Amino acid sequence: MVLLSDQLQISVWDGSVLAIHNGNAILPCQFFGGFLSNQIIILWQRVETKEILWSYYLGENQLNQQSLEYSGRVSLFPEELKRGNASLKLENIKLNDTGKYMCSVRIPLENSTGILSLQIADTDNGIEKRHQWILLTVLLMVAGFVSIGILISKKSISPAK
């Protein structure tokens, strides 16, 4: 993205972020524009429930309104804020974390918001079982090709009567 002005602009992942149940995920959020870092207000919120995941303003984390559901499971990357990175790390992902998340970045007189979706794969019931079926299918196909190859080679080796 090329900036032609000092206006605040925000960029979030276009589409869904896929995460593994009980794993971690990064919800990407970048902001651009000319402003001082101590003027930035960052708010991460769950769209469906309006729960606050993370709040940052006046150069500090403000977690007094953070939802208990996300307490101890989310964090920003403070060293990255000066580079315009407001991405959120979500740890110990639960199945009910599936949904839409909003990243809002504000500076005086400007506000920009982006929304992204988080999809959760349950490894106990989803990806792992699909991978097992794929592996089994591939193994059966290989065994079938080997068997056909052996039959063909036996027919071509056997003496003619």
* pLDDT tens-digit map of 1-15: 333 345 777 777 677
CA 141, CA 137: separation in Å to the nearest integer? 6
Give the residue from 125, 122, 126, 131 showing the smallest Cα distance to 20. 122
Taking residues 130-134, what's their average pLDDT? 59
Q: pLDDT band at 154, cuts 50/70/90? A: low
First-to-final CA distance of the chain = 76
Report the share of the chain in percent with pLDDT over 70.
70
**Residue 130: is its pLDDT beyond 90?**
no
**61, 65, 127 from 28: Cα distances, Å:** 18, 22, 23
- Residue written as tokens 């651009």? 32
Residue 26 CB burial class (10 angstroms; 0-12, 13-18, ≥19) = middle
- Is the pTM higher than 0.85? no
pLDDT for the residue numbered 14: 73
Average pLDDT over residues 20-40: 84
Q: Is 80 exceeded by the pLDDT of residue 156?
A: no
Lowest average pLDDT, out of 43-47, 89-93, 105-109, 146-150, goes to: 146-150
Sign of the C-alpha dihedral, residues 107, 108, 110, 116? positive
Q: When comparing pLDDT for 7 and 114, which is higher?
A: 114
All residues at 6 or more sequence positions from 68 whose CB lies less than 8 Å from its CB, including other chains: none
The better pLDDT of the pair 124, 51 is held by 51
Mean pLDDT of 76-101: 93
CA angle 88, 93, 97 (to 5 degrees): 80
Averaged pLDDT, 62-74: 94
